Chain A
Amino acid sequence: MAVVTKEYNGSGPTASTITHLKHRAADTYANDATNPVPKPTTTGYGWWKTIGLYADAGPDIYSDIKIYGGGAPSPAWTGATLHIGDETSDTYDQATGTVDGSGDEIVANHDQVTAKTDFFSTYTSLNMKTVGLTGGVATLGPLGAPQRISKYVFFQLTVTSAVAAGSLSNGTIYWRYSVTS
């Protein structure tokens, strides 16, 4: 049973399978060079990102979903930090901001997020963040249809005037979950 990462965009929202979490100055998911996050005078933000773990229909039962990072990206980021919202939720809140400008800061503007944490420096294989299952249940499955199995997870890239122009090096994001089959 395929398990993939979906990004959620728009008012619907629309779910799209992603392989990269591309931080942008727009509410879109494409992994390309359009809508780059501009270098700010002081502090700016990418538009916040909403992702979830998504599974095909099948007989498996899922539990214990967590998320963590592969450590600091290399080469190290200067003037950029990936934050994760402290809350996960089943409630979607569309990202807002200025297209090709700054996104709105997530804690101040997201309906579900009241605090944020530096993702790569905090959540590692030694300290994973518990995500939880859709609906807050303890286990989920067998699935009669493909569906999101995790709660929504919210990310936002914060950049300062110290950030270098151009693309940042890739960081790695992992899911960890259990399957009964």
Chain B
Amino acid sequence: MIHDFDTHYWLARTPDGWISAEDHASYEPAFQRANRIRIEPLTSDAVRAILDADIPPGYTAFLRTDQYRQMNGTLVRWGYVLAVERGEWADPGREPIGGFEFRGKESPWVGLPIRDGFRAELCCWDGQVAFESSPNFSFAVTKEADCDLYKFFKVE
């Protein structure tokens, strides 16, 4: 689902083709069949960054939007979290995976332990991408059109 505040949206490649946040939720079973996930800008004024990951067999993907909202309702920070972890969960959309905690220049992941996988967050308030992983995952940054493309991959 795409909200009024969204600046980015997800797409997932499944064995039956691409699905997206336009007509699916990431807690639906169809999303769990995805073998590739992208988070792309919705509009031309959104942060020019794309997250892209192949989901290896045996791994589970989790998508979350982290929101920081003032008591008056103003959304002051939001970020798109992509987490990939080895293993199976009965209902991954209902797993409280936690999030990054931004402590100055450090961004430790606090939540679902990273044993074999990675966590990435597109921080829409400053355009940065936070990343933490087990040693067997990494990322590379290239260009796709006018966007920075963050490609996350498993190191074989």
Contact = CB atoms under 8 A, between A and B. Distances in A.
Interface of A: 1-5, 18-21, 51, 58-61, 63-64, 125-126, 128, 138-139, 172-181
Contacts of A63: 64, 94, 96-97
A63 B95 CA distance: 8
A4 to B, nearest CB: 6
Contacts of B148: none
A3 to B, nearest CB: 6
Interface of B: 1, 3, 21, 25-27, 62-73, 76, 81, 93-99, 101-104, 111
Q: Which of A2, A21, A177 has the most CB of B within 10 A?
A: A177
B111 A64 contact: yes
A18 to B, nearest CB: 7
Contact of B93 (A2, A4, A180): A180
A4 B95 contact: no
B71 A175 contact: yes
Contacts of B27: 61, 180
B71 A178 contact: no
Given A63-B94, A172-B70, A181-B1, 14 more contacts: A2-B73, A4-B73, A5-B71, A5-B72, A20-B72, A61-B27, A61-B94, A126-B101, A126-B103, A138-B96, A176-B66, A179-B66, A180-B26, A181-B3
Nearest to B2: A181
B70 A180 contact: no
A60 B68 CA distance: 16
Contacts of B63: 180
Given A125-B102, A139-B94, A180 B76 contact: no
Contacts of B96: 63-64, 138-139, 178
A3 B26 CA distance: 20
Given A59-B25, A181-B25, A19 B68 contact: no
Nearest to A173: B71
Contacts of A174: 68-71, 76
Nearest to B62: A180
B71 A20 contact: yes
Given A4-B73, A126-B103, A179 B95 contact: no
A114 B96 CA distance: 27
A155 to B, nearest CB: 11
A180 B71 contact: no
B71 A176 contact: no
Contacts of A58: 1
Q: Which of A1, A18, A63, A180 has the most CB of B within 10 A?
A: A180
